[in-house]
Each structure stands twice: as C-alpha cells, then as structure tokens.
Copies of this chain bind each other. A is one copy, B any other.
Amino acid sequence: MDEKDLKIVCGTRLFAGLDPEAVSSLLHGSAPRQHSKGQMLFEQGDPADTFYIVLDGWVKVFRPSVMGDEAVFGVFTVGESFGEAAMFIQGQFPAAAQVVEEARLIAVHSDVFRKRVHNDPDLAFEMLAAMSRHLHSLMNQVEQLQIRSSAQRLAQFLVSLAPVPLGAAVVALPYDKSLIAHRLGMKPESLSRAFVRLRAQGVATDGNRVMLGDVGQLRAYGETGPLRERMASH
C-alpha cells in the first residue's frame, strides 16, 4: 500500500482525522488488491468476515431477486466503504457486491477490526458516523423511489455529479447507463426516455458525456417536478 493509497484511506470518512501511522498499523497486512470488471466480491448470505474500502473504480452493492431483476442499494467509489454493517449483526451479508468498473480495494478483516473498534472509542464513533451516512443515503433513495418520477430521479443524480452548484456544467457518466438505470430503480429504456424528457430542462447527451445547461434549474426540477406554470393565478 503506497503513500497515495494511504492518503485515500485517511481521507475516507471512516478514518478521517486518524493519523496515517495509526491507520497503517490498523490495516497492516491488508494489501490493496486489483479486481477486474464483473468480479463478484461476495454474495448475499455469505459469511460477513470482511468489509471493503475503495481505492479506485466502482463497486455495485445489490440484491438479486428470484426473477432476473435486482435491487441496487449503492454504487461505491474512491474513499467509500461498504459491507461494514454486516459485521455487527448476523454475520451474513444482506446483499451482494460486484465490481462494475475495474477497481482497487482494501479488504479489512472484521474480527481484527472489531477488536480495534472495541478499544478505540473514536474509531467507534467514526464507524457510527459512517453507518449514519449510509442510512442517510438509503433514506434519500427511499424518498426518491416513493415520490419522484424517473426523470426527477435522473435529474437529482446528474446534479449530484455536477462539479458546480449553479450554472452550466458538463459531466461524464461514471458507469454504464444500464447500471445507472438500475441504481435509480428503472429499466434502461426508461432511462433513455428520462434523458429525452430532461432535454426540456437544458440537458443534452453525447454518449457518456452529459451537458447541463443550468444545474440550479435541474435541481429545482428534481425536487418539484415540471411545475405547472400557473403564472396567471395572481
């Protein structure tokens, strides 16, 4: 694990604020490993004896259903961790994880880490904070699925990718459109149509590059939908 990797891990909110030596010793022996696209990291129901920190690339956490469908709970990238929750409950992963873009990961052994958490209250708090964030992110996902249209969900996703809070921007879609579709709880066909509908909000696409005319406008659309423009009702 070289210096850059260590920097990423220290940047991870999980280890934020801890000094590099501490983290290094904590992760001693957990060398980063390269994983190729498509590789399964674990399946739902597997014994949860490790969790992961992403150095780069993208990993999908999901649950396959009896029929071909699947529910996507998150897609993680540099500095993020996943699989921590499982080690505090039954010891079984409640979902599966698969590399979707070539990735370098650190696998942390649960038992070693748990001991460490037990002895280090600050690390425990970081852990609690990390899980709070996952919780928060899932709440956002539930909210989106319950009350937003597919076009609104896409709008919010694009806003979250935008480098600026207002004005024009160009973003690159970080992974396949079909994965984005699943991530947003829709079919690839519906994602295409959602892009078409967002054209009216100043969104243009070209392959995996997306041009946003006005991020502020797009955010508003994501929250309130296509307002009914009842400008007359003074």
- A: residues with CB less than 8 A from B are 63, 65-67, 69-73, 85-86, 88-89, 94-95, 117-119, 121, 124-125, 127-129, 131-136, 138-139, 141-143, 145-147, 185, 223-225
Contacts of A69 on B, CB cut-off 8 Å?
Answer: 146-147
Using known A-B contacts A73-B139, A133-B89, A141-B142, determine if residue A128 contacts B127 with beta carbons closer than 8 Å.
yes
- Since A134-B135, A142-B142 are in contact, a sample of 18 more A-B pairs with Cβ atoms closer than 8 Å, ordered by chain A residue number, is A65-B143, A69-B147, A71-B142, A85-B132, A85-B135, A85-B136, A88-B132, A89-B129, A89-B136, A117-B121, A117-B125, A121-B121, A121-B124, A128-B128, A128-B131, A131-B131, A142-B145, A145-B145
Cβ contact within 8 Å between B63 and A143: yes
Cβ contact within 8 Å between B67 and A132: no
Contacts of A67 on B, CB cut-off 8 Å?
Answer: 224-225
30 contacts between A and B (CB under 8 A): A63-B139, A65-B143, A65-B147, A67-B225, A71-B142, A71-B146, A72-B146, A85-B136, A86-B132, A88-B129, A88-B132, A89-B129, A89-B136, A94-B136, A94-B139, A95-B139, A117-B125, A118-B125, A121-B124, A127-B128, A128-B128, A128-B131, A131-B131, A131-B132, A131-B135, A138-B138, A138-B139, A141-B142, A142-B185, A145-B146
